[in-house]
Amino acid sequence: MSKLKAVILAAGKGTRMKSDLPKVVHTVNGKPMVEYAIEAAKGANADEVCLVVGYKSEVVKACVTSKVTYAMQTEQLGTGHAVKCATKFIGSEGETLILFGDTPLITGATLSKLVEYHRQNENKVTVLSAIVANPAGYGRIIRNEAGEFKKSVEHKDASETELLSLEVNSGMYVFDSKELNEALNELKTNNSQGEYYLPDTLTIIKAKGLKADAYVLEDAMEMTGVNDQDQLKAVEKIVQERKRK
C-alpha cells in the first residue's frame, strides 16, 4: 500500500469573515474549522498531515491540537504557490491529498473513495468534483464527447461554452507525489489573476501522457467552503444535524 500524505491549505486571512482571526480557526460546533479537514484526512488513512500556514500562523498553531507538521507561505500567490510551500513534505513517494482548512463538511469516507478511485484507475492526479445547479465562481471541469476528463478551467478564464459546464472543481485532489512536485515546478502565472493556479498541474500532468481524471462527489454539500459568518452558521447547523444522526 503506498504512503498517503495530506497537505491542508490554511494560510488565508479570510477578510469576508470580518474578524482579525485567521479564517481556519473560527469554530464550528466548538472546534476550529481546520480540525475537521485534519480529521477527514486521517479518516482517509493519511499517515502525515502538513498545514500550510501564513496569516497569524502562531494563532493557527496554538489552536490545532492534532499532530501535524507546518509549512510557511509568507506571501499569497495562489493555490499552486501555497502547495509549492510544502514541496519538501510532499517528497516523491506515494500520494498526496490536497485539502482546504475551510471546508469542514468533507468526510474521511469521501476522501477514501477518491483515493480508491485514483488508485484503481492508475491516475496520476484525480480532482474531486461535484455537479451543482449554480456553478458561478467555481472552476469548471471540462469533459470530451465521450465524457472523459479534458481539463479544469478557472471561472475567470473560461469561455462561454466552458461556463455551461455544471461540473465544478472542489479544489481537493489526490496526486502522485512525484508528479505533483514536478508539475509545481512548471507552473506559470499567465492568467487573469497573475497567480500560480493549482488546477494547471492537471494540464501539465496530462500533457506528459499521464492520466488525469475527476471523481464526482455524491453529495456536493461536502465541498462547501466557509467564507463569511453566514456560511459558518449554515455549516454549523449541518455538523450538528450529522451529530444527531
Distance CA 76, CA 127 (A): 22
**Bridge partner list, 72:** 53
Digit-by-digit pLDDT tens for the chain (245 residues) are 789 999 999 998 889 999 999 999 999 999 999 999 999 999 999 999 999 999 999 999 999 999 999 999 999 899 999 999 999 999 999 999 999 999 999 999 999 999 999 999 999 999 999 999 999 999 999 999 999 999 999 999 999 999 999 999 999 999 999 999 999 999 999 888 899 999 999 999 999 999 999 999 999 999 999 999 999 999 999 999 999 99
In this prediction, residue 13 carries a pLDDT of 87
In this prediction, residue 192 carries a pLDDT of 83
State the number of CA atoms in the 13 A half-sphere of 42 facing the CB: 12
From the list 14, 102, 21, 98, the residue with the least C-alpha distance to 62 is 21
Distance CA 177, CA 142 (A): 24
Distance CA 62, CA 60 (A): 5
Q: Quickly count: other Cβ atoms within 10 Å of residue 188's Cβ.
A: 10
Instruction: Return the CATH superfamily for domain 4-244.
Output: Spore Coat Polysaccharide Biosynthesis Protein SpsA; Chain A (3.90.550.10)
Task: Just list the catalytic residues.
Answer: 16
In this prediction, residue 164 carries a pLDDT of 96
In this prediction, residue 189 carries a pLDDT of 92
- Domain locations in the chain? 4-244
Would you state the cell numbers that stand for residue 72, as one nine-digit string? 510557511
Would you state the cell numbers that stand for residue 183, as one nine-digit string? 508539475
Return phi, psi of residue 18, to 5°. 55, 50
